[in-house]
Chains A and B, each alone.
Chain A
Amino acid sequence: MSMRHRYRHPGLNLTDTPDEHLAKNETTIFGFWVFLMSDLIFFGLMFAIYITSIGATAGGPRPHELFDFTSLAIQTVLLLTSSLTVGFASLVLKFDAKSGNLIVWLLVTLLLGLGFLFFEIRDFIEIAAKGGVPSRSGYLSAFYGLVLLHGLHVAMGCLWLVVIMIQIQVFGLINVVTTRLIRFALFWHFLDLIWIGIFSVVFFGGLHFG
């Protein structure tokens, strides 16, 4: 392996030395990364639709009447912190896999993810109470479409994480399970990237241009 390409795949690399699983893992993780890029386009289009619909409130409530920025800040911090805790989990996996800390960090991540969802859903309920429902306008359709899509991804991520935690208990850290964990970490970081776009474009963009 040349020095130049020491990273065999995106995300934390568990080892620098080749072993029998490495080539196969590299393939699996690369495949997942390709999927994420396809998903990225999906999100990109929803962003584009949102941008084109920003004026389409059709007399319904406008963004600045709907958004709760305190809650937005809380959600942002929760998600960002969960990205860090996934990182911690990956580090435990790499350096200290035998210890019980792995499950602890994964659990913390799960709780942070659920916390994020809690605030997001609470916001949706409040927005709906102010008359901001998707059937009200093209703008609100685009808003819900994009933010819900992200939320759905987070929810799927939580479910996936639960499955992985169970599999760690059942099988221990066999190769199949650890690559799943690495892929999960990629997925989770990816959702944080998307979230940067959401608070910048959807919330701030909506506030200032809507």
Chain B
Amino acid sequence: MNQTHSDLLGRLNLDSLPITALIKNPGTNEIVANVAGLVMLVGVLVVLFILTKFRLWRPLWSDWLTSTDHKKIGIMYVVFGIMMLARGVIEGVVMRAQQAMGAGSGFLEPDHFAQLFSTHGTIMVFFVAVPFVLGYINFVMPLQIGARDVAFPVMNQISLGLTVAAGMILMVSLVVGEFSTGGWTAYPPYTGARFNPGVGPDYWIWAIVVSGVGTTLSGINFAVTIYKMRAPGMLLSRMPLFCWTVICSSILIIFAMPPLSVAALLLGADRYMDFHFFTNDLGGNMMNYANLFWLFGHPEVYLLVLPVYGMYSEIVSTYSAKRLYGYLSLVIATMSIAVLSFTVWLHHFFTMGQSALINAVFGIATMLIAIPTGVKVYDWMATMYRGRIRFNVPMIYLVGFLILFVIGGLTGVILASPTVDFQVHNTLFLVAHFHNVLIPGVLFGLLAGYNYWFPKAFGFRLNERLGKLTAYLWIVGFMITFLPLYVVGLMGMPRRSYSYTDTEFVPWLVLAFIGALMILSALLVFLEQLRVSIRDRDQNRVPFGDPWDARTLEWSISAPPPEYNFAIIPTVTKRDAFAEAKITGQAYGSDDAYEDIKLPKNTPVGIMLCVLSGVWMFALVWWIWWLVALVTALIFLLVIGWSFFVDNERVIPAAQVRQEHQAWLAKLKATPPVDRDKEFSPENLGYAKTELAGDA
């Protein structure tokens, strides 16, 4: 890349655009790169067009972008996650295609392939899994603990803004310059200024730093919300399991994000200011980087998977019509996993050269995690035992998860043995392993949760048939794509290879490519399900809010919920309070204790910080120093200026709350409740004739 500078544009010039490369040097590689950029630009244009055509700018601004409502923020996170998922999956498929034909040299240049696995990994972890999980927590957790919002609604908005800005800067790297080729881990010295003077690693660094700030703020927000905002009587020991997993996950965020920020910032200091933290010369030590990165990296996977365990726990008990088996053991298991996950990071670099003793200690600590995880698997199975199980979409994912996750977990225990790891580290065996835990463990759970909570968020059920098809395609597609990789891994194929010479790999990689196509079709059916469901929404409405005969508080209110969540803050006397109330016939009562409700006003701070931080990152990447200075000053001004707005609450009068709530209750009382056999008929308006009984 051309390294000339100007004061005005830093190192940005025409050569930074992929189109220039296409004109100068047309080839398949350049065409693929340009098509990707083009698709993104067209996508942006289509969105702008739709917004303008249907006059959606104003509602978008006032109902969504400036909203401080945790439910809307949660939904925006998930929408963002879905967009990024589409890009991540497509990249995965392109890589599979390359490797399927890679016995020659395939159709991609090595550099382009390297960008693909780097963006794919970065996107999937930081901009798919994280936003999805944060989104669900945002939407569900306050409802489950009987709160009206999170502890810091504006900060919540800022978290979203920063995460989205970071994701967008990654999208920008598709059309301006290039992304890092250093993998999602960005190990120096390869990513240092000496070997990689271009903009790629800088895009990575700033995307990671800014989204890291956003995530940390979310973690703080959720932890404080759970500790301080629970409804009266909602003791910690009465919380739904999902909330327990959220606490643990928030703690992981709070303590595990700093190592990542430190790693990325110090790498930045090396690159921008000629420091020597991780360089080869002058006393730098890249092993410090590996250590820092994995201090974060290992807890990271648990902060993703724990809330998903929580979702599975909710789902399994709802669709088995039984109380969750072994609540206390699940809580303890979750907490042990959270603590243990800080003690195992070294298993990601067994081969770095430390003594056998250290490797053994960390290997054993790693194996220990299998114990609480095993406890969970048994608890979920025991919950299903003798339940009246309904195989709705979320349950299909759950069963797929139980089986596949055990396989992924077992290969994890295998890798935890340093001696074995020396043989298979850096091969596709590892790639198979972590996809095997991340896809069933995180992604399936998110898709299950999507089908489970969608009606709560939007007021209508998703199409069940297409949902099932999506689930089967994902599960089977996953198996065909990733199980063969264990084999090629054991045969010795290194990960991140754009080509290879051993033709014995070919059949397995072709098989994996076919699987990847299935996953791609799963993605398409997933989108089709959404389209069909929106089209048919009037037959699937569930205004009374409890379509699945579920157990926790979020199902006791209308769907979609009113902006203040609860007309009257519930008083909790037992675990699974709503299930209890349904059994004893006390659900949907009202004791006329309406009060004025204070809610935070809308504010544009989050979206402004989103834009500013986006520009800030761009300016830093391209060394446009005047812009960096300007935007930094603006950010300070904005934050300080905003702190002068001390009056930021609005009041919803009690009379209005009462009127809305009473109208809803009246309609509900006039409707016959439906039983589970009619779960998918238009008669299911979300008023469940409960099948829960006795001590369930």
A38 touches B257 (CB 8 A): yes
Taking the closest CB of chain A, its distance from the CB of B141, in whole angstroms, is 15
B643 touches A27 (CB 8 A): no
A167 touches B643 (CB 8 A): yes
Hey, which chain A residues are within 8 Å of B288, CB to CB?
A: 49, 52-53
Binds B, one of A90-98, A104-112, A170-178: A170-178
A42 touches B285 (CB 8 A): no
By secondary structure, the A interface counts as helix
A38 touches B640 (CB 8 A): no
Taking the closest CB of chain A, its distance from the CB of B96, in whole angstroms, is 37
A170 in contact with B255 given A45-B292, A138-B285 (CB within 8 Å): no
Q: Does B388 contact A (CB under 8 A)?
A: no
Q: How far does the alpha carbon of A60 sit from the alpha carbon of B269 in the complex, in Å? A: 19
Taking the closest CB of chain B, its distance from the CB of A119, in whole angstroms, is 23
Residues 246-267 of chain B, each 1 if its beta carbon lies under 8 Å from chain A, else 0: 0000000011011101100010
Taking the closest CB of chain B, its distance from the CB of A59, in whole angstroms, is 9
Hey, which chain A residues are within 8 Å of B640, CB to CB?
A: 163
Hey, which chain A residues are within 8 Å of B694, CB to CB?
A: none
A57 touches B283 (CB 8 A): yes
Taking the closest CB of chain A, its distance from the CB of B259, in whole angstroms, is 6
Q: Does B390 contact A (CB under 8 A)?
A: no
In the complex, residue of chain A having the shortest beta-carbon distance to the beta carbon of B295: A45
Residues 139-158 of chain A, each 1 if its beta carbon lies under 8 Å from chain B, else 0: 11110110000000000000
A34 in contact with B223 given A45-B262, A56-B283, A138-B283 (CB within 8 Å): yes
Q: How far does the alpha carbon of A56 sit from the alpha carbon of B284 in the complex, in Å? A: 7
A38 touches B292 (CB 8 A): no
Q: How far does the alpha carbon of A13 sit from the alpha carbon of B601 in the complex, in Å? A: 29
In the complex, residue of chain B having the shortest beta-carbon distance to the beta carbon of A180: B643
Interface centre among A31, A35, A174 (most CB of B within 10 A): A31
Binds B, one of A63-71, A72-80, A129-137: A129-137
Q: How far does the alpha carbon of A136 sit from the alpha carbon of B257 in the complex, in Å? A: 29
Q: How far does the alpha carbon of A171 sit from the alpha carbon of B288 in the complex, in Å? A: 48
A42 touches B276 (CB 8 A): no
Q: Which of A31, A57, A135, A140 contacts B221 (CB 8 A)?
A: A31
Hey, which chain A residues are within 8 Å of B224, CB to CB?
A: 27, 30-31, 34
Interface centre among A23, A38, A177 (most CB of B within 10 A): A38
Residues 628-668 of chain B, each 1 if its beta carbon lies under 8 Å from chain A, else 0: 00000000000010011010000000000000000000000
Chain B residues numbered 211-244 whose CB sits less than 8 Å from any CB in chain A: 216, 219-221, 223-224, 227-229
A145 in contact with B254 given A38-B216, A56-B283, A138-B285 (CB within 8 Å): no
By secondary structure, the B interface counts as helix
A134 touches B275 (CB 8 A): yes
A170 touches B644 (CB 8 A): yes
Q: How far does the alpha carbon of A163 sit from the alpha carbon of B636 in the complex, in Å? A: 11
Hey, which chain B residues are within 8 Å of A46, CB to CB?
A: 262
Taking the closest CB of chain B, its distance from the CB of A84, in whole angstroms, is 27
Q: How far does the alpha carbon of A4 sit from the alpha carbon of B265 in the complex, in Å? A: 43
Taking the closest CB of chain B, its distance from the CB of A4, in whole angstroms, is 18
Q: How far does the alpha carbon of A135 sit from the alpha carbon of B282 in the complex, in Å? A: 8
Taking the closest CB of chain B, its distance from the CB of A140, in whole angstroms, is 8
B262 touches A42 (CB 8 A): yes
Q: Which of A31, A49, A140 contacts B151 (CB 8 A)?
A: A31
Q: How far does the alpha carbon of A135 sit from the alpha carbon of B275 in the complex, in Å? A: 5
In the complex, residue of chain B having the shortest beta-carbon distance to the beta carbon of A57: B283
Q: Does A58 contact B (CB under 8 A)?
A: yes
A56 touches B285 (CB 8 A): yes
In the complex, residue of chain A having the shortest beta-carbon distance to the beta carbon of B289: A49
Residues 20-46 of chain A, each 1 if its beta carbon lies under 8 Å from chain B, else 0: 000100111011001101110110011
Hey, which chain A residues are within 8 Å of B646, CB to CB?
A: 171, 174, 176-177
Interface centre among A27, A58, A141 (most CB of B within 10 A): A141
B275 touches A145 (CB 8 A): yes
Q: How far does the alpha carbon of A45 sit from the alpha carbon of B256 in the complex, in Å? A: 11
Q: How far does the alpha carbon of A134 sit from the alpha carbon of B266 in the complex, in Å? A: 12
Q: Does B362 contact A (CB under 8 A)?
A: no
Hey, which chain A residues are within 8 Å of B279, CB to CB?
A: 138
Q: Does B486 contact A (CB under 8 A)?
A: no
Q: How far does the alpha carbon of A102 sit from the alpha carbon of B115 in the complex, in Å? A: 57
Taking the closest CB of chain A, its distance from the CB of B107, in whole angstroms, is 42
B254 touches A37 (CB 8 A): yes
Q: How far does the alpha carbon of A38 sit from the alpha carbon of B250 in the complex, in Å? A: 11
Q: Does B274 contact A (CB under 8 A)?
A: yes
- Chain A residues within CB distance 8 Å of chain B: 23, 26-28, 30-31, 34-35, 37-39, 41-42, 45-46, 49, 52-53, 56-58, 60, 134-142, 144-145, 163, 167, 170-171, 174, 176-177, 180
A-B contact pairs, 11 of them (CB 8 A): A27-B224, A27-B228, A30-B228, A34-B220, A38-B220, A52-B285, A135-B273, A135-B282, A138-B283, A144-B275, A174-B646
- Chain B residues within CB distance 8 Å of chain A: 151-152, 216, 219-221, 223-224, 227-229, 254-255, 257-259, 261-262, 266, 269-270, 273-277, 279, 281-285, 288, 292, 295, 640, 643-644, 646
